Amino acid sequence: MFGIGVPELIVIAIVALFVVGPKKLPDLAKSLGKGLQEFKKASEGVTESIKETLKPDDLKEEMDDFKNSLLYGKKDEDEARPASPPKDDSSKTSP
């Protein structure tokens, strides 16, 4: 978990005991636990939302459409119009 082993956790607990004091340490631990629990719920909610938004079937359909447009050109409704004929500049003569 974050590369912290048991000895490091013991040192952190001892420092917290000295900084916070023995009377307030249980309240601090409870608050920290609740905060971590809410953070975990929020991150799971974001993950679920992303999974819901990016369904594999929708992505596959979009990828197939993109591949087809690359392989076969643009779709019928996107076809280019023919270019207009060039303007006749015969009125201008070269010297």
pLDDT digit string (tens) for 42-95? 999 999 888 887 777 777 888 888 888 888 876 555 556 667 777 766 656 555
User: 7 lies in a domain?
Assistant: no
Query: What pLDDT score does 38 carry?
Result: 95
User: 35 lies in a domain?
Assistant: yes
- 14 touches 22 (CB < 8 A): no
State the residue range of the domain holding 38: 12-72
User: 57 lies in a domain?
Assistant: yes
Query: What pLDDT score does 57 carry?
Result: 73
In angstroms, the CA 62 to CA 68 distance is 10
Query: What pLDDT score does 70 carry?
Result: 86
Number of structural domains, the chain? 1
Other C-beta atoms lying within 10 Å of the C-beta of residue 28: 13
User: 25 lies in a domain?
Assistant: yes
